């Protein structure tokens, strides 16, 4: 069982790398890169966000909470971080979106649903099957865990702030794009993605297991190519786009 699970997980991580390479050439067709043909029927974006993210909110915690694992403060900490992110992403973010009526091709929420279910399953299964007893309370006070929690929380704040700045760019009824300003937008085009990647890097540091590492790889696989595509798009669209701004990592990328 041990071998089969980790074989699947290794395959899943490999798939994440392949998806990253593919996304460098094919832009995920939603938002500014929306394609109306070839990606399935168009559906409501707000409901898609809710329906594709709620399974992530539930899967991992349910597997842990319904297992025989004796829960410790450590479980409470990582489930709280998980809940913090996914309550926002599945139940708060979609209702705060400025609804411009722009739809999303159904293939995007379907891929996201599979991604969320698979990640939730891998995280939950690895936790209850192989690590139920291997996270003593002292783990929580280790330098890696403390660093992981800090990176996660800073990433969460960066992501929230960046999403809020984007939301406030449009007045009610507006549909166009503007140059985002303030916060980490001073240095990068996509601080929302930077924050999200920091969150799951911090989470991987906290859990120090393969499924958390795989989740981090998949997040980078989705968001790094999209950040590069957004950045190119901004530079082509706005002649006055700040030249010092990078795509994802200040002064570097």
Is residue 74 within 8 Å of residue 141, measured between CB atoms? no
CB 48 within 8 A of CB 28: no
| Residue 204: CB minimum distance to ligand NDP, A | 13
Chain-centre distance of CA 204, in angstroms?
13
Q: Please, are residues 16 and 214 in contact by the beta-carbon 8 Å criterion?
A: yes
Nearer to ligand NDP, 32 or 35 (CB): 32
Q: In b/e form, how buried is each residue of 61-100, taking b as 16+ CB within 10 angstroms?
A: bebbeeeebeeeebbebbbebbeebbebbbeebbeeeeee
- Among the residue ranges 19-27, 66-74, 94-102, 238-246, the one whose residues contact ligand NDP (CB under 6 A): 94-102
From CA 119, how far away is CA 226, in angstroms rounded? Answer: 20
219 binds ligand NDP (CB under 6 A): yes
Tell me which residue has its CB nearest to ligand NDP: 31
Q: Would you count residue 214 as binding ligand NDP (CB under 6 A)?
A: no
Task: Find the shortest distance in angstroms from Cβ 125 to ligand NDP.
Answer: 20
x/- string (CB under 6 A) for ligand NDP, residues 106-145? Answer: ----------------------------------------
Q: How is residue 134 written in tokens?
A: 């291997």
Residue whose CB is less far from ligand NDP, 122 or 135:
122
Q: Which residues bind ligand NDP (CB under 6 A)?
A: 31-32, 97, 100, 102, 159, 163, 166, 169-170, 177-178, 180, 192-193, 196, 219, 222-223, 226
């Amino acid at each position: 069982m041990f071998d089969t699970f980790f074989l699947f997980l290794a395959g899943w991580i490999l798939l994440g790398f392949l998806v990253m390479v593919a996304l460098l050439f094919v832009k995920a067709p939603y938002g500014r890169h929306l394609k109306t043909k070839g990606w399935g029927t168009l559906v409501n974006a707000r409901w898609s966000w809710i329906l594709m993210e709620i399974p992530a909110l539930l899967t991992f915690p349910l597997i842990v909470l319904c297992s025989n694992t004796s829960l410790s403060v450590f479980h409470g900490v990582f489930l709280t971080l998980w809940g913090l992110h996914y309550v926002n992403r599945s139940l708060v973010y979609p209702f705060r979106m400025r609804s411009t009526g722009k739809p999303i091709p159904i293939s995007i929420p379907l891929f996201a649903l599979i991604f969320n279910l698979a990640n939730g399953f891998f995280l939950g299964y690895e936790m209850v099957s192989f690590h139920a007893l291997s996270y003593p309370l002292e783990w929580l006070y280790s330098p890696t865990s403390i660093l992981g929690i800090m990176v996660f929380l800073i990433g969460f704040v960066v992501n929230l702030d960046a999403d809020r700045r984007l939301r406030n760019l449009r007045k009610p009824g507006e549909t166009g794009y503007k140059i985002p300003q303030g916060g980490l937008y001073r240095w990068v085009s996509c601080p929302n993605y930077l924050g999200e990647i920091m969150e799951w890097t911090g989470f991987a540091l906290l859990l120090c297991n393969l499924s958390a590492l795989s989740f981090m790889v998949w997040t980078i696989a989705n968001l790094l190519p999209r950040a590069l595509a957004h950045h190119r798009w901004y530079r082509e669209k706005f002649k006055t786009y700040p030249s010092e701004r990078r795509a994802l990592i200040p002064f570097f990328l």
